[in-house]
Amino acid sequence: MASFRNTIQKDAVLKALHEENRHMTAEQVLAKVQTQNPVISRSTVFRILHQLSERGDILRIRVPDGADCFDCTNTPHYHVKCTDCGEVFDVDMPVIDNLEDKIADTHGFIFTGHNIIFSGICPSCRKSRTA
């Protein structure tokens, strides 16, 4: 991979992720960045997010039936997606070490990793359901 130098654009993307302190899609990051600097292009923001996640500076969360999200917490952890609003949240539980080694595979796979996303209804959506 080519060198990845510090730029105003990269700093703007990281600032957007840290300020929001939530899991954001690339489109949400773009909207936040453009409120501060409207000349930063979509392709630049998307490229920076890709580079940051490839380097391990941020975590890319592949969301089933939804847009990928980006997380500033880049240590292994689990997530939950609200089935009502679609937001993705961290799950406060330890990651299961060597989970792949504990799974018996009958199809001949060699496991190289895992990504677990739970589903549920967030407190905000639960509250609006009862209102």
Residues 45-85: tens digit of each pLDDT = 999 999 999 999 999 999 988 899 999 988 889 999 999 99
Closest CA to 27 of 42, 12, 7, 5: 42
8-70: which CATH topology? Arc Repressor Mutant, subunit A (1.10.10)
* Edge-to-edge strand ranges of the sheet holding 59-61: 24-25, 69-71, 59-61
Q: In the predicted model, is pLDDT for residue 1 greater than 60?
A: no
Specify the residue for token string 């039936």.
Answer: 65
**What confidence score (pLDDT) does residue 101 get?**
81
**What confidence score (pLDDT) does residue 11 get?**
93
76-130: which CATH topology? Dna Ligase; domain 1 (3.30.1490)
Residue 33's Cβ-count burial label (10 Å; 0-12, 13-18, 19+) is buried
Q: Domain extents for the chain?
A: 8-70, 76-130
To the question of pTM greater than 0.85 for the whole model, the response is: no
**Rounded Cα gap, residues 9 and 102, in angstroms:** 43
106 confidence band (pLDDT: 50, 70, 90): confident
Question: Among residues of the chain, what percentage have pLDDT more than 70?
Answer: 95
Average pLDDT, the chain: 90
Q: In the predicted model, is pLDDT for residue 5 greater than 60?
A: yes
